[in-house]
Amino acid sequence: MLFNSYEFIFFFLPVALIGYFWLSKKRLTTASKAWLVFASLFFYSWWNVIYLPLILISILFNFTIGSTISKIIFSSIKSSNTFDSLSLNGKPTDLVKRSKTVISQKTLLTFGIVCNLSLLGYFKYMDFFISNANILLGSHIDLLHIVLPLGISFFTFTQIAYLVDAYRGEVKEMDYLNYTLFVTFFPHLLAGPILHHKEMMPQFDNIRNKVLNYKNLSLGLFLFSIGLFKKVVIADTFAPWANTGFETTSALTLFEAWATSISYTFQLYFDFSGYTDMALGSALMFNIRLPFNFNSPYKALSIQDFWRRWHMTLSRFLRDYIYIPLGGNRLGEFRTYTNLFTVFLIGGLWHGASWMFVIWGAMHGLAIVIHRAWSESIKPKIKATIGKSKDELFGKWATVLAWLITFNFINLTWVFFRAKDMDKAMNVISGMIGENGVIVSEEYFVKIKFLRSFIASHQSLFHICLVESDTVIYLTLAFIIALAFKNSQQQTIDFRPSWKELLIMLTILIYSIFNLSKVSEFLYFTF
């Protein structure tokens, strides 16, 4: 079921809210949780009920592994405390038992992670592996054409994080119903945010969250309305321009290529950011606060800054569960750079079974390595040599220059992220650097009379072609919204229920609903 559908807005969400708070009001706490689980599974099954057993089996498997690890840890701690309190001299048999327990925990964790990755690998990457094996080996193995279950990347990463947290002794609550609610809670189920067990369980168990909170309800509706507007009005407006451009890449000239790339840059942001706002808003109506996932990423002044703002829960997962276990920055400069590059390579492949995602991840990995080398080695040496920093050299333009470099790099990498193959990506890039000529629309052509003679003498370079003025207007507005307006996180902090806020919410909500002319899936559903 989609957030941007009549079924969700007018049927599912109201029924889920009414049922949950009615049961909570009757002090049927377990029943209210079970109701949310049932509603979430219904929400997931709306798309394709055939994959319902898959997520249920995954939940049961991971809960069994995680709870077993937790029980071993806490029983070991209890035994250790008892052993220490008795002030015994420590028999060899005791030490052997404790050593075996540690190995058992690691074995269970490894087994759980391998099984999760195998499940993800089969559904998401099997055809990718087969097609590449056919190319390398000259074989002719038939593709399986497996339909990717919605949300599998997100609920798999969520549960891997749970297993690791259990191994670290950070999981203290072991209740199957609570765990099922944690994984299936519908606002985050299909496209995140990626959650931690420890940040959600206290909220589900907090008795104050069982009471309808009108402030949270109004704030949740406000956030949901903003997200719906981002998706339906902004992202879906850019979608046709981006899709058309990437499907006709061989003919793109300068302005068309830039309009295509920037249209996708904003389509992706407002699509995924809109989904996240709707997810956070929906959860807040149930008095549950999900972690923020975006903090104005296109305001970033460096690639590192960008990843602190874009898809923040994925960045957190990659840092905590891949980068740090690989050694982080503790094993020397070369190893640090290797770890950073590896993390972004994995992050790229996580998005999809395509070499284009690997290339996108490699580009970001290389950029983050260069940025770190610049920040820690090169920049201090330059300052020591010339006695001035970048800010002192360029003054107020330093910030503008940093933003221009960062945004254009991000925009460039999104071309590879969106293109189906390298040929289409390079065709767009070729258009962006003007290899296919420069387009000037009829509307703007008449306004540049002083260039007419020059253009007339360079017909091979300049062409008169239609570039819709609406495209320029929408791209300009998108820049203004992304760079000048407060983001959802800031609006949440500053939110105060009032008639003014109510009017704004109703206006954008009603306008967005009237624009639900067609159902369009969220881009991250395919990841």
The answer to whether residue 113 scores a pLDDT higher than 50 is: yes
Confidence class of residue 37 from pLDDT cuts 50, 70 and 90? Answer: very high
Whole-angstrom CA distances from 415 to 342, 423, 426 are 21, 11, 9
Q: pLDDT category, 493, cuts 50, 70, 90?
A: confident
Element (H, E) at 405: helix 397-418
Residue type for 105, please?
A: Q
Rounded Cα distance between 190 and 440, Å, is: 42
Q: Mean pLDDT, to the nearest integer, of 169-197?
A: 89
Cα separation, 166 vs 172, in Å, equals 8
463: left (phi over 0), alpha (psi -120 to 50) or beta: beta
Main-chain dihedrals φ then ψ at residue 439, nearest 5 degrees: -100, 135
Residue 500: partners with Cβ closer than 8 Å, 6 or more residues away: none
Helix axes 176-184, 29-45, angle to 10 degrees: 40
pLDDT reported for residue 241: 87
Round to whole Å and give the CA distance between 164 and 318: 13
Residue 179 in contact with residue 202, Cβ under 8 Å? Answer: no
Instruction: Give the Cα separation of 486 and 307 in Å (integer).
Output: 19
What's the pLDDT at 378?
A: 64
| Residues facing 462 on adjacent strands | 438
Residue 521 token pair: 């899936």
Rg (CA), the chain: 26
Mark residue 387 as left, alpha or beta (left: phi above 0; alpha: psi -120 to 50; beta: remaining): left
- Look-up: residue for tokens 């062409």? 463
Do residues 487 and 223 touch, judged by C-beta distance below 8 A?
Answer: no
Which residue has better confidence, 269 or 458? 269
* pLDDT-wise least confident of 8-12, 62-66, 502-506: 502-506
pLDDT band with cut points at 50, 70 and 90 for residue 519: low
Cβ neighbours, 10 Å, residue 102: 12
Of residues 20 and 47, which shows the higher confidence score?
20
Cross-strand bridge partners of residue 303:
none
Section 67-87 average pLDDT: 66
Task: Please tell me the predicted confidence (pLDDT) of residue 93.
Answer: 39
Q: What is the model's pLDDT at position 393?
A: 58
Ramachandran bin of 296, using left for φ above 0, alpha for ψ from -120 to 50, beta for the remaining angles: left
CA dihedral sign, ordered 203, 206, 207, 213: negative
Q: Which residues are catalytic?
A: 351
Question: Within a 13 Å sphere around the CA of 89, how many CA atoms are in the beta-carbon half?
Answer: 0
Tell me the pLDDT tens digit for each residue of 333-348: 899 999 999 999 999 9
Beta bridge partners, 463, equal 439
Q: Left (φ > 0), alpha (ψ -120 to 50) or beta: where does 332 sit? A: left
Does pLDDT of 518 surpass 90?
no
Average predicted confidence (pLDDT) for the chain: 84
Q: pLDDT by residue (tens digit) across 197-253?
A: 888 888 988 888 899 998 999 999 999 999 999 999 999 989 988 888 888 767 788
More confident call, 468 vs 522: 522
Q: What gap in Å lies between CA 36 and CA 42, rounded to an integer? A: 10
In the predicted model, what is the mean pLDDT of residues 169-198?
Answer: 89
Burial 431-458 (b: 16+ CB within 10 A, else e): bbeeebbebbbeeeeeeeeeeeeebeee
Quickly count: other Cβ atoms within 10 Å of residue 276's Cβ.
29
Confidence class for position 438, pLDDT limits 50, 70, 90:
low
Residue 301 CB: number of other CB atoms within 10 A? 17
Name the amino acid, one letter, at 100.
K
Q: Look at 45-49, 468-472, 476-480 and tell me which has the smallest mean pLDDT.
A: 468-472
How far apart are alpha carbons 332 and 334 in whole angstroms? 6
- C-alpha atoms less than 13 angstroms from C-alpha of 149 in its C-beta half-sphere: 23
CA-to-CA distance for 166 and 178, rounded, in angstroms? 15
- Mean pLDDT comparison of 78-92, 362-376, 488-502, highest-scoring range: 362-376
Please give the single-letter amino acid code of residue 385. Answer: T
| CA–CA gap between residue 337 and residue 284 (Å, rounded) | 39
Contact 223, 42 (CB under 8 A): no
pLDDT at 89 over 70: no
SS3 26: coil
Residue 90 has pLDDT above 70, yes or no: no
Whether residue 4 contacts residue 228, with contact meaning beta carbons closer than 8 Å, is answered with yes
Helix (H) or strand (E) segment spanning residue 324:
none
- Those residues with Cβ within 8 angstroms of residue 217's Cβ, 6 or more apart along the chain or in another chain: 284, 285
Q: Which residue has the tokens 């300068």?
A: 254
pLDDT of residue 43: 95
259-291 pLDDT, tens digit per residue, is 899 999 999 999 999 999 999 999 999 999 999
Vertex 255 angle, CA 371 and 252, to 5°: 100
Percent of the chain with pLDDT over 90: 50
For residue 312, pLDDT beyond 60 = yes
Task: Give the residue from 155, 145, 163 showing the smallest Cα distance to 182.
Answer: 155
Gap between the Cα atoms of 441 and 53, Å rounded: 55
**Res. 392 pLDDT band, cuts 50 70 90:** low
Of 275, 525, 258, the closest CA to residue 414 belongs to: 258
The count of other CB atoms within 10 Å of the CB of residue 90 is 10
* Interior angle at CA 221, CA 35 and CA 514, nearest 5: 110
Q: How confident is the model at residue 146 (pLDDT cuts 50, 70, 90)?
A: confident
Q: 145, 122 in Cβ contact below 8 A?
A: no
- Taking residues 413-439, what's their average pLDDT? 86
Q: Where are the domains of the chain?
A: 6-211, 213-294+469-527, 295-421
